[in-house]
A and B are shown apart, each in its own frame.
Chain A
Amino acid sequence: MKIRVVIPSITKEFESIGLEQYSPGARRDTEISVTLLDKGPASIESRYEETVAAPDIVKKIVEAEKDGMDAVIVDCMAEPGVQAAREVVSIPVIGTAETAMRVASMLGHRFSVITVLDRAIPRFERHGPRTGLSRQIASLRAVNIPVLEMHNTGRLVKALTEQSAMAVREDGAHVIVFGCTGMSGLAGKVKQGLEDEGITDVPVIDPAIVAVKVAEALVDMQLSHSRKTYPNPPEKEIVGY
């Protein structure tokens, strides 16, 4: 099976990092490929960046379908372009936030999302009513480390563990969800950090890996999005795309 990860960034280094992050989640018979954007931001941390990333994300997803991909993952918890892309392709387009939040609510009564910056928090709150899971969100917290500085893994793990422990102790979280796909690969370390603080009963969800597993499951079952929910756009003149 072929899965394409669309990284909504023009940052060249993210290509090999993305491949490295997503591959451990994939089965042996799953081939992961990665594509960056030609036009758009270095990282997504604001609504503006989300908006200027979306057109090229959709284009990359259309290309992925033409390349014979079985499913696409958009590598950002803001899910830029996900709904638009579903209108123009037939293969499953996986949004990492919705998927992680649904899996979190299957695993525990309440979950907290630990994201990058405080300013991203309203965006996650919006995912609540959209997915119907508002009441399952215990809290939204941030490590306040910019996306482009997240390669300092030691600092990131420490901050993620601190915020996760607070989410459990103060906000009543039963499950932790990472709020940025750039945190992928750290679930084991953060879980260990929580256990070192005596919190042994809280699963930690890595949304990038969950997205791969859900993509594989949907492809296995030949399931994709309903065309009734995501019909093709009406035919009309569109300039520039």
Chain B
Amino acid sequence: MSEIAAAVKGNGKSLKELDRAVIRFAGDSGDGMQLTGEQFTTESAWAGNDVATLPNFPAEIRAPAGTLFGVSSFQLQFGSHRVYTPGDRLDCLVAMNPAALKVHLHDLKTGGLLIVNTPAFDKRNLDKAGYAANPLDAPALGERYRLHKVDMTGLTHEAIKDLPLNTKEKDRTKNFFALGLVSWIYTRPLEPTLEWIGKKFAKNKDVATANTRVLKAGHAYGETAEIFNEHYTVEAAEMVPGLYRAMTGNRALAWGILAAAQRSKVPVVYGAYPITPASDILHELALHKRFRVRTIQAEDEIAAVSAAIGASFGGAIGVTGSSGPGIALKAEAIGLAVMAELPLVVFDIQRGGPSTGLPTKTEQADLLQAVYGRNSESPVVVLAPATPGDCFYVAYEAVRIAAKYMVPVLVLSDGFLANGSEPWLIPEPETLPPIDVQFRTDADGFFPYLRDPATLARPWVRPGTPGLEHRIGGIEKQDVTGNISYDADNHDHMVRTRAEKVRRVAQEIAPTTIQGPGTGDVLVVGWGSTYGAITAAVERAQAAGRSVGSIHLRHLNPLPPDLGHILREYRRVLVPEINSGQLVRMLRAEYLVDAVGFNRVRGLPLASDEIHEAITQLLESQA
């Protein structure tokens, strides 16, 4: 925490100005930590800060109370400058029970604020968390951290003792006490939360009143209790002027599809089978029937992609979404779309694997599956968004490319982008590139595999068009005529043609932006959700005078045409990924550069500190 200035306010408590802070709310799955974090995020966005969030919750729906694996947490970083990540080390940890303390304490900075709910530290909860003795009684805790033991449960009950709610219902409001208290500590406005409570519990006045009172009680407690002698303010960030909203990656993908449906004037069919962390895309799209988006909750992953392909054959935009295990099941059908040369958009919201793996945790280990993971030569376009808000543009672009080139486009998001949110500058939809879908209706000279000379796309024909009746399918076809062909030379020609068609998507790629000098010692190359951590690490290294640059790839297949040249302008290339080295393998194979990986596969986003350290080590090793 860098402290810029200090002031003293009328209540005798000093107000310190910070440029950024990292906070984590942690508690039982039932303690409402996700909600608390989301509301604190909204308050921070209202305060004009840039924000990045990291929700982290167990896969179990109602994990047993008090257990270590049942801990749910929400971390965010907010700042007066651009915030790229949810932060590495915590400035403040709110632990609602012993399990939360045990799981998260090691991330708190020495001297950091530690706020605990004391009544939760009873024998039963201590046993469940594996504490032999109450850690709050150990003097070391208070010496190492600024420990605040608060009877949140008791103060909550006291604030609403006259309301006709039962003990359990009253208990459930204590997260608002925590929210009120931390809102005071960081001078967040309560208005957005008060408004939210009013709307959310409009039909249940007692609960609305209880939450409101408890929120204010927490806030007042911070202001008046003797134990908090200072609090903090974080100035509004200098952000691009405009209208903002909070955006999560999954919602942004869904809205990108809606924007594409409206712009192309073509209906969308979204086929999906529920799977974490992709289900919210289905939920979101199902809300927006007015955009002519038709959602199918299919019987399985294969049916989901098959329905999308059937829709594309019918002249709609077929889209499917899943996570890694589901994408594996869809592989054969994606191959059909490659062969039939139909547009198809596939969202892969990556999670920890293999197999069921870590359903609610993030990973970047499906890159090779996306690029190469089908039988035979079956090239597809692969895109990856860098931030939650970027998901909107990437989904839109995926539809545009799929329709223009008649190819499947895979989009690699991940659990971190899917559930994480950021303040997002709302775009003007008309500034998005046009999606110009031309269905062939002219029967004159028609063949199903005639090709556009620029894109090599074959014509897209809606069944129902007279005179253009034709048959396509998964069997190899003669180019142009589309007749079944087992001819050796035709197959070789078609393999090359399908590859060339994907390769030509490179003409859509804008020149690569290099963060930093065009030439130097170390180039950090990333893709997907590591954008924030890499950018923060590289900016830090640059501020220290290091000759370091970074690029972030949105196009993973085909790769940007200028990439080979850029890689050679640096002495070393570092590729941080949340996998055991997938992009680095592709870059080494494609460009014969001696790129090295930085790889951690822990189900968590990479920390900018560790990337910074990897940069430093690479610089020193070559010195």
Bind each other: no
